[in-house]
Amino acid sequence: MGQYDRLGRIGIWNSAWSRAARGEGLTWTPAYEEAAAEVEALGYGAVWLGSSPGVEAAEPVLKATERLTVATGILNIWNHDASDVAARRAAVERAHPGRFLLGLGVSHSRAVERYAKPYSAMRDYLTGLDEAPEPVPADRRVLAALGPKMLELSRDRAGGAHPYLVTPEHTAKARAILGEGPLLAPEVKVVLDTDLDAARGKAREHLALYLALSNYTSNLLRSGFTEEDLAGGGSDRLLDAVFVLGDEAAVAARAAEFLAAGADHLAVQVINGDPARPLPLEEWRRLAPALITG
């Protein structure tokens, strides 16, 4: 991984920190700082902040930890001015050198009223970051890339890619496009439940949002799934491919598949189906021996 060694092989992907930081259905309490510190103590190398955070969402997690890398997974380029993002990133870099990674994405047409020409928009946004008074170095930003063109842009204008809702097979194709060197850090969904029917129920509930977003469905179809796989909340075949359903050993086995396919780092998202536990610490504790020290 080169300059990304400090990420380690395994990180946590979770939206609760960024939602709480901006008061979106959650309230920030010391428990969020304690959870970040425990994630670091467990040996995870990074926290990826979901729910389209701004740079500022990283600051409380960085302050609560000493070594952890904090990444946006991802910052929505339509909602943040490039020059402002560059300035905020520079301030965070001064306060926490080398510990912040800017993940960028184009979001979805359903979520952004002015959504248009996403590839061109991302290319122009990267130019804005390059030309800002305090530029964002290419190797300190990664793109939420799924298709070939965005992966090529991740290779040529950024430090790598952070694909979401993908399989080891997609990872192998992404690595072939990126070549050696750029970071490849796919998100991996996990349901720690050995009751397969219950696990698939949680997975279907979680997947419903994404099956309504064309960026994801197009990539799944491009990856060999069918319209039938996407219907009814997702076929068993689809669920078993884009989630890890089972115990710690199953998660470790799938992680090994991703790494063998060319991933440098995995952003593990635990789906527990419990809104009362937005920070699934119990599952993170169970997974650490299997993924980090196992």
**Cα–Cα distance for residue pair 39/183, rounded to 1 Å:** 22
| pLDDT level of residue 114 (50, 70, 90 thresholds) | confident
Mean pLDDT value across residues 241-257: 98
CA 180 to chain centre: 20
pLDDT score of 31: 97
Amino acid (one-letter) located at 120: S
Average pLDDT over residues 276-284: 97
Query: What is the residue whose two structure tokens read 């010391």?
Result: 30
Alpha-helical segments (H) within the chain: 16-21, 30-42, 58-63, 82-95, 118-131, 148-157, 168-178, 196-207, 214-222, 227-230, 236-242, 248-260, 281-288
Rounded CA-CA distance 12/199 in Å is: 20
Angle, helix 248-260 to helix 281-288, in steps of 10 degrees: 70
Residue 5: predicted pLDDT: 86
- What lies within 8 Å, CB to CB, of 71 at 6+ separation is 11, 46, 47, 48, 49, 58, 100, 101, 102, 103, 142, 162, 267
Q: Which residues contact 30 (CB under 8 A, 6 or more apart)?
A: none
How many residues does this entry show for the chain? 294
CA atoms within 13 A on the CB side of 133: 6
pLDDT of residue 18 exceeding 80, the answer is yes
Q: What is the mean pLDDT of residues 166-180?
A: 98
Sign of the torsion angle spanned by Cα atoms 247, 249, 255, 257:
negative
Kind of pairing, strands 75-76 and 46-49? Answer: unpaired
8-state DSSP, 268: E
Percentage above 70 pLDDT, the chain: 96
Q: What is the pTM of this model?
A: 0.97
pLDDT tier, 133 (very low <50, low <70, confident <90, very high otherwise): very high
Q: What angle do CA 178, 243, 65 make, to 5 degrees?
A: 70
Mean pLDDT in residue range 84-88: 98
Q: How far apart are CA 158 and CA 161, in angstroms?
A: 8
Question: CA 254 to CA 37: how far, in whole Å?
Answer: 26
Residue 260 reports pLDDT greater than 70 = yes
pLDDT at 194 over 80: yes
242 vs 15: CA distance, rounded Å: 19
pLDDT at 293: 76
**Residues β-bridged to residue 104:** 75, 143
DSSP 275: T
Radius of gyration for the chain, computed over Cα atoms and rounded to the nearest angstrom: 18
Q: Which amino acid is at 245?
A: L
